[in-house]
């Protein structure tokens, strides 16, 4: 998924009919993207891989990755445009279809877009610029060194002030051999005019006018509308359904059972209803009566998971994932701080419900999907429906929020299966209730932590028994943890051990997966240890960071543990302490400040929350300060600020009142009335600063989220003396007197 591109494959150059220049990987690609209507329709100008310079002067840059609100449709083209040295406002930005052979990895997940593309996309642009300079120099018969690009798609011959537009040079450039991308000259950071500038999202004009843009807006001629009704108990089969009655209802064209399989991430059993309008499909659905077959997971519940976890935590862990020194021994006889923590399942609840449009004809499948992971969707459809992958076309349509939910393609394979049956284009739009009840949830988790500080208040032992879900030695999706996760390497005696129980609930990645839960547990427990050591929580953390002593790297070819860079974390910790005036402000009773930091997705974030708890228990988040370090440059400061503030508010939203409860094998919650999101009136000011480090820039969509939750719960402790060891907060009585 994150394989690096072979540069020789990545950059090839060739001419296109009509005198244009293409810089990309292969030819003969015709965009059939929903966005393509904006482009010249002349076939000569059919866009290709990353850059197209048409003879009429239009310059098109391809946005290669799925856009779900994280801003890559703007920030990735910025990288190309910078090195191509063209004016941003003159560009056409076009969304790519799914085709990893042409574009490389196309995934919106793991905050990988920036680190994966930073180098190759700038090189793609730089090759284009070098070719323009060569073409101009040859046209004028002058040395290349006398020519320079001017930032507006022109090349100037410095001594004579003559200039030529890229469009005029495109035909000639297409006859030249491209320079080696690996050695092509790239700009120094001081020359940047587009990278590092706050550039508004390229789809903003459509968004503010309400023009069709999202998956749910896709219209295909002759399209019908589908509902797909699955069992509340995940994966239960259809025993019987009143299909004859449904088929007679207004506008219904077909209703049928799909057998489906037992893989929770695959096509699950259900009833499809296909009608001439969305509303008629909904009305028919309301009359649907299904008897679901008995299913082995019908007994599972959040309460039973919790009981089982409590049993596990009272016994020895099943396995040790990572150890340094001897934590259990070091804890013997020391004055031990011990605490149990837990957190619930969570849904993603992106505002656009899952949907997909599909058309199956002549053995070929075409889908329009707001997916974060088109390639795995292609494989899922191919394997499930017996279609050759080469016969599947996937148009990536803007998604109304992703947060990791759209890394799974269950809705895509459902739409494809229905389309295959009815042989006309079908749009499947889930209800919000489908969306909440059939998510891939952030798994719940349970921890018993034990720690010890010595007489100097130095942390000497840390032992974590993590109870999670899985079978054998494997974890359920997104239910695992990396062995070298902080504070491994920062405590002389350390153990991370786990026990797992089986799970029949679909789980998956939720924004800052693992971290969104672990940061709460670890940074809260570090706060407990700081108080046991009678140290200021910021100072205690500084001392922990100074204790970094990783184990020697393993011999052999095994995976190498990754540790965070203590100096970068210290940098953001110091910065956030300064920004927030940590320890310098007298606060009234009921008001407190909490601090936390976390390293994830290559990003370093430290955050301080100030919160007030009224005597009656009402909680107000007064303010959040955020210090982040994601490398040498913030590619798009406007988008970055959006991502950081969005992540912080997302974390607060999760902590305050979000919980998915499993009862009788099914999800209890159903819509925004019982799975609440933060609203305008609960939004605190969020102040953000970035620290610049001399390493290539990394992603922004996730790493700002994890610290805010423990910073908030630590602030509640500072305000009230109440230690929060489970979420969400609305289950706690915060009253004080």
Could you list the residues that contact other proteins (CB under 8 A)? 68-71, 197-201, 203-205, 207-214, 216-217, 219, 250, 277-280, 283, 349-353, 398-403, 429, 431-432, 637-639, 641-643, 645-646, 648-650, 653, 671-673, 677-681, 683, 685-686
DSSP label at residue 141: T
Whether residue 170 contacts residue 55, with contact meaning beta carbons closer than 8 Å, is answered with yes
705 with 632: CB under 8 angstroms?
A: no
Least Å distance, CB 681 to other proteins, is 4
Distance CA 56, CA 37 (A): 17
Shortest Å distance, C-beta 69 to ligand FES: 5
Residue 646 or 728: the one with the smaller Cβ distance to other proteins is 646
Q: Checking phi first, is residue 355 left (phi over 0); if not, alpha (psi -120 to 50) or beta?
A: beta
Q: Bridge-partner residues for 199, per DSSP?
A: none
Residue 65: contacted member of ligand FES, other proteins, none (CB under 5 to 8 Å, by partner type): none
Q: Round to whole Å and give the CA distance between 228 and 236.
A: 14
Which tokens hold the place of 370? Answer: 């707001």
Min separation Cβ 207 and ligand FES, Å: 8
Indicate the SS3 state at residue 24. Answer: strand
- Closer CB to ligand FES, 69 or 710, in the complex: 69
CB of residue 418 vs other proteins: minimum separation in angstroms? 18
d(CA 625, CA 577) in angstroms, rounded, equals 9
If the CB atoms of residues 101 and 680 are measured against other proteins, the closer one turns out to be: 680
Beta carbon nearer to other proteins, 390 or 680: 680
Query: Nearest distance from residue 400's CB to ligand FES, in Å?
Result: 6
Q: Which of 140, 143, 145 is nearest to 163 (CA)?
A: 140
DSSP secondary structure letter of residue 602: T
Q: What is the rounded CA–CA span in Å between residue 442 and residue 460?
A: 32
Gap between the Cα atoms of 446 and 309, Å rounded: 7
C-alpha torsion angle, residues 689, 695, 697, 701 (rounded to 10): -60
Distance CA 422, CA 200 (A): 42
Query: How far apart are CB 731 and other proteins at their closest, in Å?
Result: 21
205 binds, among other proteins, ligand FES, none (CB under 5 to 8 A by kind): other proteins
Compare residues 36 and 55 and give the one whose CB is closer to other proteins.
36
Torsion sign, CA atoms 27, 30, 36, 40: positive
DSSP 37: G
Q: Which does 198 bind (CB under 5 to 8 A by kind): other proteins, ligand FES, none?
A: other proteins
Work out what residue 3 binds among ligand FES, other proteins, none; the CB cut-off runs from 5 to 8 Å by kind: none
Residue 3 Cβ, how far from other proteins at the closest point, in Å? 28
CB-nearer residue toward ligand FES: 201 or 504: 201
In angstroms, give the least distance from the CB of 155 to other proteins: 26
For ligand FES (CB under 6 A), the number of binding residues is 3
Sign of CA dihedral 517, 518, 521, 526: negative
Query: Taking the complex as a whole, how short is the minimal distance between the CB of residue 401 and ligand FES, in angstroms?
Result: 5
CB of 393 to other proteins, least distance (A): 22
Nearest approach, Cβ of 279 to other proteins (angstroms)?
A: 5
Q: Checking DSSP bridges between strand 619-629 and strand 686-690, what pairing results, if any?
A: parallel
Contact of residue 279 among ligand FES, other proteins, none (CB under 5-8 Å per partner type): other proteins
Nearest to other proteins of 1, 351 (CB atom) = 351
Nearer to ligand FES, 401 or 571 (CB): 401
By C-beta, is 462 or 690 nearer to other proteins? Answer: 690
Residue with smaller CB distance to ligand FES, 269 or 402: 402
275 binds, among ligand FES, other proteins, none (CB under 5 to 8 A by kind): none
Q: Which of other proteins, ligand FES, none does residue 271 bind to, with CB < 5 to 8 Å depending on kind?
A: none
Give the three-class secondary structure for 670.
coil
607 binds, among ligand FES, other proteins, none (CB under 5 to 8 A by kind): none
Does 703 engage in binding with ligand FES (CB under 6 A)? Answer: no
217 binds, among ligand FES, other proteins, none (CB under 5 to 8 A by kind): other proteins
Place of tokens 């005019």: 193
Tell me which of ligand FES, other proteins, none is bound by residue 581, counting a contact when its beta carbon lies within the kind-specific cut-off of 5 to 8 angstroms.
none
Q: Which is nearer to other proteins, 55 or 283 (CB)?
A: 283
Task: Compute the least distance from the CB of residue 351 to ligand FES, in Å.
Answer: 4
For other proteins, which is the closer residue by CB, 317 or 401? 401
200 binds ligand FES (CB under 6 A): no
628 binds ligand FES (CB under 6 A): no
**Of the candidates 336, 321, 597, the residue with the CA atom closest to the CA atom of residue 460:** 336
**What is the rounded CA–CA span in Å between residue 584 and residue 593?**
11
Bridge partners, residue 61, by sequence = 51, 93
Select from ligand FES, other proteins, none the partner in contact with residue 439, using the beta carbon and a kind-dependent cut-off of 5 to 8 Å.
Answer: none
Exposure string of 183-201, with b = 16+ CB inside 10 Å and e = fewer, is: ebebbeeeeeebbbeebeb
182: Cβ–Cβ under 8 A, 6 or more apart, which residues? 7, 123
Q: Which residue is nearest to ligand FES (CB)?
A: 351
Whichever of 321 and 700 has its CB closer to other proteins, that residue is 700
Least spacing, CB of residue 353 vs ligand FES, in Å: 9
Decide: is 47 part of the binding site for ligand FES (CB under 6 A).
Answer: no
Return the residues of window 384-423 that contact ligand FES according to CB under 6 A. 401
Give the one residue of 19, 69, 676, 701 binding ligand FES; rule: CB under 6 A. Answer: 69
Closest CA to 175 of 45, 23, 19, 14: 14
Nearer to other proteins, 69 or 377 (CB): 69
Least distance from other proteins to the Cβ atom of residue 251, Å: 8
Q: Which residue has 């953390």 as its token pair?
A: 541
**List 1, 189, 329, 351, residue binding ligand FES (CB under 6 A):** 351
Order across the sheet with 147-149: list the strands.
147-149, 154-157, 162-165
Alpha helices, DSSP H, located in 584-679: 637-657
Q: Is 432 or 542 the residue whose CB approaches other proteins more closely?
A: 432
Q: How far is CA 493 from CA 11, 306, 568, in A?
A: 50, 29, 23
Tokens 């990572």 belong to 322
Q: Label each residue of 673-730 as H, E or C.
A: CCCCCCCHHHCCCEEEEECCCCCCCCCCCCCCCCCHHHHHHHHHHHHHCCCCCECCHH
Q: Which residues bind ligand FES (CB under 6 A)?
A: 69, 351, 401
């Amino acid at each position: 998924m994150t394989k690096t591109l072979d540069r020789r494959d990545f950059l090839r150059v060739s001419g296109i009919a009509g005198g244009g220049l293409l810089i990309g990987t292969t030819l003969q690609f015709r965009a059939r993207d929903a966005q393509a209507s904006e482009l010249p329709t002349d076939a000569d100008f059919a866009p290709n891989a990353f850059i197209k310079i048409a003879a009429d002067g239009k310059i098109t840059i391809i946005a290669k990755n799925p856009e779900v609100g994280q801003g890559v449709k703007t920030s990735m083209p910025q990288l190309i445009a910078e090195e191509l040295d063209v004016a941003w406002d003159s560009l056409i930005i076009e969304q790519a279809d799914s085709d990893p052979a042409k574009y490389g990895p196309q995934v919106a997940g793991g905050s990988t877009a920036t680190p994966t593309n930073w180098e190759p996309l700038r090189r793609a642009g730089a090759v284009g610029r070098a070719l323009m300079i060569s073409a101009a120099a040859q046209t004028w018969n002058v040395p290349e060194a006398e020519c320079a690009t001017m930032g507006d798609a022109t090349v100037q011959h410095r001594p004579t002030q003559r200039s030529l537009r890229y469009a005029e040079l495109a035909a000639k450039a297409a006859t030249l051999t491209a320079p080696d991308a690996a050695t092509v000259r790239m700009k120094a950071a001081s020359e940047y005019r587009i990278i590092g500038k706050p550039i508004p999202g390229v789809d903003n004009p459509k968004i503010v006018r309400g023009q069709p843009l999202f998956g749910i807006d896709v219209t295909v001629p002759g399209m019908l509308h589908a509902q797909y009704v699955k069992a509340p108990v995940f994966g239960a089969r259809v025993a019987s359904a009143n299909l004859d009655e449904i088929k007679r209802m207004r506008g219904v064209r077909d209703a049928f059972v799909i057998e489906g399989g037992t893989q929770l991430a695959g096509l699950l059993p259900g009833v499809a209803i296909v009608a001439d309008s969305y509303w008629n499909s909904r009305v028919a659905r309301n009359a649907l009566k299904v008897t679901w077959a008995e299913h082995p997971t019908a007994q599972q519940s959040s309460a039973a998971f919790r009981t089982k976890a409590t049993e596990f935590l009272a016994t020895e862990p099943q396995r040790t994932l990572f150890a340094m020194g001897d934590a259990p021994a070091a804890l013997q006889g020391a004055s031990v701080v011990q605490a149990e923590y837990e957190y619930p399942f969570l849904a993603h609840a992106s505002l656009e419900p899952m949907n997909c449009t599909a058309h199956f004809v002549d053995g070929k499948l075409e889908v329009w999907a707001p997916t974060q992971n088109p390639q795995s969707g292609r494989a899922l459809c191919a394997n499930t429906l017996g279609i050759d992958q080469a016969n599947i076309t996937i148009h990536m349509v803007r998604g109304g929020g992703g947060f990791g939910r759209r890394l799974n393609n269950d809705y895509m394979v459902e739409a494809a299966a229905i389309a295959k049956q009815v042989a006309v284009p079908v749009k499947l739009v889930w209800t919000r209730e489908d969306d909440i009840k059939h998510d891939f949830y952030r798994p719940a988790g349970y921890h018993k932590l034990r720690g010890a500080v010595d007489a100097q208040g130095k942390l000497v032992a840390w032992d974590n028994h993590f109870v999670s879900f899985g079978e054998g030695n494997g974890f359920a999706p997104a239910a695992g943890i990396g062995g070298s996760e902080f504070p491994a390497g920062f405590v002389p005696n350390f153990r991370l051990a786990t026990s797992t129980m089986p799970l029949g609930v679909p789980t998956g990645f939720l924004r800052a997966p693992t971290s969104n839960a672990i940061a709460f547990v670890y940074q809260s427990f570090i706060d407990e240890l700081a108080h046991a050591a009678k140290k200021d929580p910021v100072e205690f953390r500084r001392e922990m960071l100074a204790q970094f002593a990783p184990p020697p790297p393993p011999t052999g070819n095994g995976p190498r543990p990754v540790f965070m860079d203590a100096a970068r974390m210290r940098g953001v910790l110091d910065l956030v302490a300064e920004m927030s005036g940590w320890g310098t402000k007298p606060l009234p009773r009921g008001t407190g400040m909490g601090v936390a930091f976390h390293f994830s997705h290559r990003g370093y974030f430290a955050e301080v929350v100030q919160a007030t708890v009224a005597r009656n228990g009402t909680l107000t988040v007064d303010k959040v300060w955020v210090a982040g370090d994601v490398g040498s440059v913030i590619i798009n400061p406007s988008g970055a600020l959006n991502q950081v503030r969005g992540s912080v508010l997302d974390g607060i939203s999760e902590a305050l009142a979000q919980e998915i409860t499993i009862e009788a094998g099914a999800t209890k919650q159903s819509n925004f009335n019982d799975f609440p999101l933060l609203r305008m009136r609960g939004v605190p000011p969020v102040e953000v600063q970035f620290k610049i480090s001399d390493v290539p820039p990394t992603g922004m969509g996730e790493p700002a989220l994890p610290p805010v939750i423990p910073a908030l719960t630590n602030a509640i402790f500072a305000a009230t003396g109440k230690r929060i060891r489970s979420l969400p907060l609305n289950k706690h009585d915060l009253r004080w007197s």
